[in-house]
Structure 1
Amino acid sequence: MILSHSAKMKSCYTDNVLRKGDDLMRGPPSPVIPKEIASHVLEGVELCDGILRNLFLCLQINDIEPFCQDEIVLYRQCAEKRDKEIRERMQDSEYKLGSSMPLEEAKGRATQLQSEVTLLERRLILASGLEGMEGFRQRWSLHGQLEDTRKRLVALNRGIGKRENQSSMGEGTKSAPAGKRWFFW
């Protein structure tokens, strides 16, 4: 009888942790970096691996999370800063690609990103039917990927639009001698 009561208490505790676990996932998830721009985006970024190692060591030594609050806070701050920097760099990279790639390739990339957005939207709709913690995690992850991909698409289109505006302005002044163009990256 005592054993079944203990098992029942453990089950209630586990269910409570699962229901409340979503409060640990604040803000968007870490961005997924496309392989074609990963080396440029990650260069010089603090990846927080040392802080994460300390957090896992603390959890291993103390066996419970309340004794590791300092490490959790440090990791959360580092991860938020890292993710913000990575998102800015991804958008900057897409903008530069849009303004420097051959126009047809840039438009092809925009089409590819738009199809990724559509796919993620469809997957998010399908994930809305999943219940429980797993459903929440999938929706949370897909929503983050969707927002990041949309922002990359907007940045790419801004780069393409900038170049199209420059070329249309250049066509209007063809009779004037062309000056040097400088690009600062």
Structure 2
Amino acid sequence: MHAMQYELTLPADYDMRVIRDRVARRGRLLDDWDGLGFKAYLARERGLRGSPVNQYAPFYLWNTVDGMNAFLWGGGFQGLSDDFGRPSVRQWTGLAYEEGGGAHARFAVRRRQPVPDCEPPAGTVEEAVREVRRLAAQDGALLAAAAVDTSRWELVHFSLWEHDTPKAGGDLFEVLHLSAPGRDRLSRGRRW
């Protein structure tokens, strides 16, 4: 499992209907992408739900590196780059994934945190696995995942929710669309 995200932080007066319309037109193009667990098309609007910015920031969980590479190098990513310029793409190695009982993804929470230098990373990673289980068990949670970027020693926690009052801390996004062709094939639990 591999996590991936890029962020387009847009001007404060940007009309976010442009992003909503784009997702409405193009979001379904990944509904059957080979190797994709899911892509959550995420947006935040400045001044809504505490967001300081307008942002489009899709989050992906990939079942296969081949699927991710086909997206990045085989044309899926090029449309975004053509329209907005090529953003930096963050990647994390998957640590844990769990399904919740929620039915519809309406909101997402993403929290990034450093892996502390002063303690062995194994303890921090085990805590991340426990947090995935805790989040997935909450009312309204659709799923939860954790991953790590060892080049920055950064954890990312990601969860999808039915409501805008999730029991998770972090940046709150609205889910504009969810493409999930391989979600049922994402391995649950700890990934080692």
Structure 1 length-normalised TM: 0.24
Structure showing the higher strand proportion among its residues: 2
Structure 2 length-normalised TM: 0.23
Structure showing the higher helix proportion among its residues: 1
Structure with bigger RCO (C-alpha 8 Å, 6+ apart): 2
